[in-house]
Structures are given as C-alpha cells and as structure tokens.
Amino acid sequence: MASSFHGSKINPDRFDRSQIKFFLFLIPMMVFMGLPIVYIFSHAFKPIDELFAYPPRFFVEKPTLANFVDLFNMSDTTGVPMSRYLFNSIIVTVVVVALTIVMSTAAAYALSKKKFKLKALLFEINTVALMFVPIAVAIPRYLLIDNIGLLDSFWAHILPLLAMPVGLFLVKQFIDQIPDSLIESARMDGASDYIIYWKIILPLVKPAIATIAILSFQAVWNNVETSTLFVNDESLKTFAFFMSTLASQTGNSVAGQGMAAAASLLMFIPNLIIFIILQSQVMNTMAHSGIK
Amino acid sequence: MTFLKKHHSTLVFLMPYVLMFSLFIIIPVAIAIGLSFSYFNAIEPPSFNGLENYVNVLTQDNVFMRNVLPNTLIFALVVGPGGYILSFILAWMLAQIPRLPRIVFALVLYSPSMTAGIAMAVVWRIIFSGDQTGYLNALLINLGVIYEPLQFLQSPNYLMTIMIVVTLWGSMGVGFLAMLSGVLNINSEIYEAGYIDGIKNRFQEIIYITIPSMRPQMLFGAVMAIVTTFQAGAIGVQLSGANPTPQNAGQLMVNHIEDYGFIRYEMGYAAAISVLLLLFIYLFSKLAWRLFGDND
C-alpha cells in the first residue's frame, strides 16, 4: 500500500530529508530562545566602553574579567561583602536540596508501597497542591514565620522550600514502577522498611532523585522572596537577592551594568552545569510524570 | 498501640514531609482564607469584617477592575495556552529528529526556564532599555523604523507585550520536558494500528494518536503551564522597576497582593485577593483536568 499515509518516525536513528521542515522551525526558535543566554555570557566579559558603545554590539570584542573583579570587591551600602551573600546562598542551597531529596523520597516510598488508610487522600491532596503558588500566600507565611520566631535566621530561607509537591509527585510515580515482588522478597529475607528504603528504593530511583535535585536547586538558588520578606539582617540574605538589588539600583548606571551582567552569569552557570550533568536522568523520570 | 507498632516506619517516612507541607502550604492557605474575612493592618489584631473585603474588591477597587483583572486574564490566556501549545509543538518536532541534535535543542530551549526571571531581568532591561544604547531601540533606529528611542519598559503601550514575550521565552520548563518524553515513549505499534485504521494526515495523527497516547503528560504539562503563568507575576515589576507598574499597565494579581500586603499593610484585603488568585488557578486547572483527565 504505497499510497497510504505514513506519518511520524518517532526517535529516528539518523537524519532524513523529511526532517528538514522540523529543523526549519526549530532552528529559528532555538536562536530566539538561546540569544539572551549567549548575550549574558558575552555581556559579562565586556569592558566598560563596549558596554555602552553606540551602536551596541552583541558580541564582546576585547573580553575582560574586570566586571567579575569589581563584583567580588563590591560590598553593598551596609558593608556586607558580596562573598557573604554567595556563601549564604551556597549553604542554604545545599541544605534545602539535601533535605528535599530525603523528605520527598521517604514520603514517596510510603505513599507508593505502604498500605494505610489515608494513603489515597494524602496523594490526592498533594496532587491538588501541584497548583499551589507560594507567592499567593506570602503574607500568611510571613505571619507564621514571625510567630514561630524564625524571622532573620537561615531557617526562614530553608523551611518554606522543603515541601515541594511536584517533587513528591514525580518520585512517587517513579517508585510505582518498581515491582512489589522485589520489596516482598527483601522483606522475606528479614529486611526492615528502613533497609528497603536505603538499599532498594534509593538506588533504583536515582533518575527521580536527579530530577527533584534540579527542581529544588532551581527553586532555592533563584529564590529572592525569602530574603525580601523573611530576613531583615543584610548579612543573612542570599546571592539571588543581592543580584536583584544590583539589577534594580544600578541597572542603568555606568559601573553597575557590567557587575549586574557578571552576577547574572554567576547565577545562571550552576543551573546550566547541573542540568547538563543530570539531563538524561531527568528525561527518564519525565517518562513517568503523567497525572493519571 | 497496635496501629503505631504496625505503621511506625510509615509514620517516620511521612512525618517530615507532611509536617512541612502542612506548615508552609496548608496552614498559610487556611490563614489566607481566614484573613480574607477580616480587617488586618499588621499592628492591631485582625477583626472580623465578613465579606467586606470581597465586596470592596468587586465594587471599590478601580485599579483591580480596570487594570489588574483584565491584565491578569490577558496575560494568563496568552501565556498559559500559548506556552503550552508551543511546548507541545516543540516537543513533538524534537521527537522526530535524531538524538544528538534533539538533546542540544532541548537544552537550549529549556535553559531560559532555569533562570526563573531574576537573572534575566538584567538582560531584558538592557535589551529593552529606553535610550539609544538599548538593543531594540538601536536596531529599530538603524532600520529606520523609528527616529527617537522608545521607552519600552516605562510605556503602558509596550510593557504588557514585553512581559508576555519574556514569560513565553522562559516557559519551556518541566512541563515541556514531560511532554517531550511523553511523545518519545509512545509505542510505535499504536501508530501502525492507526495507519491501518485510516489516519490520513499528520493533523489526524496528532489528534487521534499522539495526544490521546500521552494524556497523562499532557495534563501534567497543562498544570505546570498554569502554575508557571500565575507564578510569573513578578515580571512586570522586575522589568519596569516599580510597583505599581507605570499606569498599572503591567499590574497582575500577584503585584496587587504585594502592593496591598507589604506596601500599604492592608493584609486582610490582600488576603482576599490571594484567595481569589488561588481560586483562579484552581478553576483553570479544573478545565485542564476536563480536557485531559481520565474521567471518561
């Protein structure tokens, strides 16, 4: 039946002329999406005369590290050095990512493989909470954090970000794919729940762990809200916050623009590196991401 | 007692998550609902005032009715479905090219969403800068389209469009990745069966095979699209550098909440808008559930 329609070849092995039409759409899209990213790299290395050249040039011609040097030597108006913000961000990020992984995988294991009464309800509530938008309840969160005495502490950066409904959701869907028989036979051999979680579940859900690591990393590393709302002490604020003040105060001043560009590059690079390392694991997790 | 014995490990596994979930998601939502029925200025304790806040939103708040609500709806209706359809088209095309270019393209398309607006506010402000060193202005002047630089970010005529473009630019996130792996994982036999059943063109193929076969990912993607859309509310303030935005042109519900809550300290009123926002998101998601859910 040579005449019958034969459409998509999904996941083709090699290039074929029939794919040209896709490339014709994808390449301009990629350029549009990628240009600002390329620009951020280029801009961060521009010396001051190129930053304000007219007409503006997209690519850097005489790259320099001056912007980064300025940035590292800079303190804000209250005398807190930039390195302090960076240090705070790193601590907060490491703690949040680690705790999020432990909490989500543990809860996902229980929700997926244990049998108890409220199981279905809990997962249902979590699925509804996928739609939760933290920014909508900034005020109640502020009152709550104030009342339990966490204002002006690292905990104010950490605790609000730990429960990540989409993280629990993805890990739970992933654990669902692990056959019950595997867990049963371990139990026959006398393994406790904790051993099963540690020795069987965790190694098998590595791709899902990579995925929540990325999601929680992005949530915490880019977070400005906790610094603006819950922390008054400048020396406890994060790099993302520092970055946002650079952007708003000095965005148009001469020296500020170069530093702001350097800082955005520093903000962006860790995101990119982590995603490149973990991308194949992420795709593996996403195959099980559907809401059924 | 027997319950504790039988389930103690389950409790240990669940407790930390459930505790944090309740403390920072459930309780704040409950407080928001409670506050929305009261007058609260953050100094005196809240006093119950019934539906007054909601009545005021609907009858007294000119800015809300004239700017914030229409802005939010326009923004949500363009960015939500727009970003979602774009994610799907891109995912569908990416699935049909070889692996190596696919990974590179996917990475580039996904990377804007990693920046979550903050880092990129700098870049966009330079691109749309209001003097002639702004990239767009320089480009348009060179092309002879305009003679004087335009104040893109301060002008009510352009701010909303720019917000939409910037948000769309960053909207190929988790949902996009989910849909990509959804398309990739459809069993090829389903396609073969479809061709035998008389699928005649690509459009039919997408409607009758591709989308139904990846419905769970479509739903996940839809929910993510809705959430990122409403989450992106801060973008207007970041771009223009002011809350309220110039002539309220880019004012969204999220900014309105911040304006009343943290600038004017009318927290009860701000809470009422928060509740409306959450309700909006819920309704939009319900619609997505209708379209892609498994309830038929």
Q: Average pLDDT per run of 10 along chain B, which is 296 residues long?
A: 70 94 94 92 84 89 89 90 93 90 89 72 78 79 81 84 89 88 86 84 86 86 86 79 81 88 88 92 86 65
Query: Per-residue confidence at A108, pLDDT binned at 50, 70, 90?
Result: very high
**Three-state SS at B151:** coil
Closest-CA distance of chain A to residue B86, Å: 10
pLDDT 10s digits, A247-281: 665 445 556 777 888 888 888 899 889 888 888 88
CATH for B62-292, among 1.10.3720.10, 3.40.50.1980, 3.65.10.10, 3.40.50.970? 1.10.3720.10
Between B12, B184, B261, which is nearest A10 by CB? B184
Q: Which residues on adjacent β-strands are paired with residue B48?
A: B38
**Three-state SS at B39:** strand
Q: Where are the alpha helices (DSSP H) in chain B?
A: 2-21, 27-35, 52-59, 62-63, 69-94, 99-114, 118-127, 135-142, 159-169, 174-184, 188-196, 202-205, 211-213, 215-231, 235-240, 253-258, 267-292
Taken in order of first residue, the domains within chain A and their CATH numbers are 17-67 (no CATH), 70-286 (1.10.3720.10)
pLDDT of residue B117: 60
Q: Which residue has the higher pLDDT, A172 or A279?
A: A172
Domain boundaries defined on chain B: 62-292
The whole-angstrom separation of Cα B254 and Cα B61 is 15
Q: Is A251 on the interface with B (CB under 8 A)?
A: yes
pLDDT of residue A56: 74
pLDDT of residue A1: 41
Q: What is the model's pTM?
A: 0.86
The whole-angstrom separation of Cα B94 and Cα B100 is 11
ipTM of the complex: 0.87
Share of chain A above pLDDT 90, in %: 36
Between A5, A131, A252, which is nearest B195 by CB? A5
pLDDT of residue B33: 94
Residues of B in contact with A114 (CB under 8 A): 7, 9-10, 13
pLDDT of residue B198: 82
pLDDT (mean) for A219-238: 90
Q: DSSP letter at A200?
A: I
**Three-state SS at B128:** coil
Closest-CA distance of chain B to residue A178, Å: 18
Q: Is A106 on the interface with B (CB under 8 A)?
A: yes
Enumerate residues 6+ apart whose C-beta is below 8 A from A53: B133
